């Protein structure tokens, strides 16, 4: 099986706080650098779960871009960009996290940048961030056309309720063009996007597990260290092996530091 993911290739700066932030003063933390971006995370987890994987994204030649590409265990296809985006993930002691994102050149991916052979795959996964702004939204819609021509399924992750509130009109229009077979989102993201066409609806509910077309599936018990990337691991598992593999991948993800396996 080949899973192709389209979206952002970013540098993750993970900051695990030892104590709460103290405005105007210092807090201690442990930090790490790792490749990231929702689409890259899904590709990495698909690879770890036994599938072949490919990422389609803007590739920048700066120091950050060289660092993230060197760490990836799969091919990256796409045009050259001028700046790699950076995401700072603040991880609290209980594993909860807040992210601050700078997408760099990632949204500059255009439909005309795509090569049809990149989408000779079994499943295409689109980051929700790729549906929210042009020109990358046009690239996402074109990628869905190319993947379906090869018999692939198409899935989307809604990604961020705050971004949906800002860019919801563009995202809804792109979703209408893509007509995804599967849509992943947490409860706030589904509330923000409203009624959209989706063959299968997956609602991510954290420690309460997931709803798949309204049917509950409990989360697997695990020691929560860092929730960054859990939804991406779940999406990859769902595409590769269905519900149980999805839940197992999410449990494995939150038990470690960072979004990739």
Query: Taking the domains of the chain in order of start, what are their residue ranges?
Result: 2-7+36-85+104-254
Q: What pLDDT is recorded for position 32?
A: 87
Q: pLDDT at residue 2 above 80?
A: yes
Report the distance separating Cα 184 and Cα 173, nearest Å. Answer: 17
Domain 2-7+36-85+104-254 indexed as CATH 3.40.225.10:
no
Q: What pLDDT is recorded for position 158?
A: 97
Give residue-wise pLDDT tens across range 187-211: 999 999 998 888 999 999 999 999 9
Buried b (16+ CB within 10 A) or exposed e, 148-167: beeebbbbbbbbbbebbeeb
Q: Of all residues in the chain, what percent are helix, strand and coil, respectively (each to 5)?
A: 40, 30, 35
Q: Are strands 52-56 and 2-6 parallel, antiparallel or unpaired?
A: parallel
Task: Taking the CA atoms of 86, 219, 215 and 43 in sequence, report the sign of the dihedral they define.
Answer: positive
Give residue-wise pLDDT tens across range 5-43: 999 999 999 898 888 887 888 888 989 898 999 999 999
Give residue-wise pLDDT tens across range 125-147: 999 999 999 999 999 999 999 99
For residue 236, the surrounding DSSP H or E stretch is helix 230-241
Report the distance separating Cα 42 and Cα 55, nearest Å. Answer: 9
Q: pLDDT at residue 97 above 90?
A: no
Strand extents, DSSP E, the chain: 2-6, 10-17, 29-36, 52-56, 59-60, 75-77, 80-81, 84-91, 97-104, 123-127, 153-157, 182-186, 200-204, 210-212, 215-217
> What three-state secondary structure class fits 227?
coil
The reported pTM is: 0.93
Taken as a whole, the chain contains a residue count of 261
Q: Are strands 84-91 and 10-17 parallel, antiparallel or unpaired?
A: parallel
> Residues 44-53: what's their mean pLDDT?
98
Other beta carbons within 10 angstroms of residue 215's beta carbon come to 8
For residue 7, the surrounding DSSP H or E stretch is none
> Residues 90-117: what's their mean pLDDT?
89
């Amino acid at each position: 099986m080949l899973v192709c993911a389209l979206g952002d290739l970013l540098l993750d700066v993970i900051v695990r706080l030892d104590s709460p932030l103290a405005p105007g003063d210092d807090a201690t933390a442990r930090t790490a650098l790792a490749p990231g971006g929702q689409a890259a995370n899904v590709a990495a987890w698909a690879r770890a779960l036994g599938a072949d994987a490919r990422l389609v994204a803007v590739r920048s030649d700066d120091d950050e871009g060289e660092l993230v590409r060197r760490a990836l265990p799969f091919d990256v296809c796409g045009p050259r960009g001028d700046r790699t985006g950076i995401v700072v993930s603040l991880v609290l002691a209980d594993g909860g996290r807040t992210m601050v994102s700078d997408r760099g050149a990632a949204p500059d991916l255009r439909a005309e940048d795509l090569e049809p052979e990149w989408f000779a795959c079994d499943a295409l996964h689109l980051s929700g961030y790729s549906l929210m702004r042009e020109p990358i939204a046009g690239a996402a819609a074109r990628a869905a056309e190319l993947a379906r021509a090869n018999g692939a399924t198409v899935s989307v992750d809604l990604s961020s309720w705050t971004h949906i509130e800002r860019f919801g009109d563009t995202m809804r229009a792109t979703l209408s063009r893509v007509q995804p077979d599967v849509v992943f989102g947490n409860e706030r993201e589904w509330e923000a996007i409203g009624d959209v066409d989706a063959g299968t609806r997956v609602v991510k509910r954290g420690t309460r597990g997931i709803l798949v077309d309204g049917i509950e599936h409990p989360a697997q018990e695990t020691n929560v260290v860092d929730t960054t990337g859990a939804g991406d691991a779940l999406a990859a598992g769902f595409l590769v092996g269905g519900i149980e593999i999805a839940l197992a991948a999410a449990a494995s993800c939150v038990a470690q530091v960072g979004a990739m396996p």
